[in-house]
Chains A and B, each alone.
Chain A
Amino acid sequence: MKYVIGTLSCLLLCLYNYAQDTSGVNEVATGLRADGKIYVVVAVVVTILLGLVIYLISLDRKISRLEKQGT
């Protein structure tokens, strides 16, 4: 259930993105569209980094649990 809700909320966010996209190219570039959309790249890179870090933290905790079981 947790995952279903998570997936659905992600999908909703995607729809929100599509809704934003109809604005067209000629409009003034604001927010993440400023400066040649470089902020989009920053967002992608930071997301990847954070994803990897969260994965590392979960591994770390899992191993800590295993270590406790061993002793």
Chain B
Amino acid sequence: MRRYWWKILSIALLLYAFTAGFFIVVPDIGNLQHSIRNLFFHVPMWFGQFTLISVSVVYSILFLRKQDMRYDIYANEFARTGIVFGVLGLITGAIWATYTWGAPWNNDPKQLGAAIALLIYLAYFVLRNSMTDIDKKGRVAAVYNIFAYCMYIPLIFVLPRLVESLHPGGKGVEGNPGLGGEDLDPTMRMVFWPAVLGWTLLGVWITTLRLRVRLIEEKKLSVIR
């Protein structure tokens, strides 16, 4: 119980979000209609994604400081789950855009930024797997991961808000939500934040599963050698 309570919490929070997300009364804004309920699914998943890659970059820094191979594997697996959530976020965003912006792909700065950021992260895996020397692999991958994170923030959070964008937060829409723009409806907030925590915990859970498999594999390899 002590070790897995957070997994139960994750399931409970997600179940809450997946039911309350449909039942609560939502405000009627623009042409969103009921699609505003995507805020309980699409957006919290992106928040969870950002948490995962943030954890990944912390482990990359730790690896560079302490040279412990474990940290390299942690960084790798957190980034991997982050990519999965990111791809799902891009797809769900495209579905939502079809019915509110008119087309799945609008070359909107937010969509372009998210796509470029994901490609930069994909290159992290290509780069890491292209090297055979374990020490070099870890170090180069860690440095690249820090670079990818530093590119992610302007691409997702800064640039789309500096230019005209259909996505909330764009210039001339309703102000930057990151800097206290128009606030989220209070009833929606009651579902939104639990959903963020639920998605984050789910992402950590998936990552720990992969990590445990990786550690078993590593142990086996060291025994064989």
A28 to B213 Cα, complex, angstroms: 53
Within 8 A of A (CB), among B200-225: 205-206, 209, 212-213, 216, 219-220
Q: Are B219 and A45 touching (Cβ within 8 A)?
A: no
Interface Cβ pair total, 8 Å cutoff? 36
Chain B residue numbers with a CB within 8 Å of A57 are: 7
Contacts of B213 in A (CB 8 A): 63, 66
Checking B18, B22, B219 against A49 with a beta-carbon cut-off of 8 angstroms, the contacting residue is: B18
Alpha-carbon gap, A38 to B20, bound state (A): 12
- List which B175-206 residues lie within 8 A (CB) of chain A: 205-206
Contact (Cβ within 8 A) A70 B219: yes
Residues A66 and B19 in contact, CB atoms below 8 Å apart? no
Selected from A41, A50, A53, A67, the residue in CB contact (under 8 A) with B212 is: A67
Given A56-B209, A67-B216, A70-B216: A38 touches B14 (CB 8 Å cut-off): no
B11 within 8 Å of A (CB atoms): yes
Q: How far is the CA of A70 from the CA of B223 in the complex (A)?
A: 11
Q: How far is the CA of A18 from the CA of B65 in the complex (A)?
A: 64
Q: Interface of chain A, helix or strand or loop or mixed?
A: helix
Which chain A residues lie closer than 8 Å to B11 at the CB level? 53
Contact: B205 with A42, CB < 8 Å? no
How far apart sit A46 and B23, CA to CA, in the bound complex (Å)? Answer: 13
Q: Is the CB of B206 within 8 A of A56?
A: yes
- Chain A nearest CB from B209 CB (Å) reads 6
Residues of A within 8 A of B (CB): 38, 41-42, 45-46, 49-50, 53, 56-57, 59-60, 63, 66-67, 70
* Chain B contacts to A: CB under 8 angstroms: 7, 11, 14-15, 18-19, 22-23, 205-206, 209, 212-213, 216, 219-220
The 9 closest A-B pairs by CB, nearest first: A63-B212, A42-B22, A45-B18, A53-B11, A49-B18, A59-B209, A46-B18, A66-B216, A70-B216
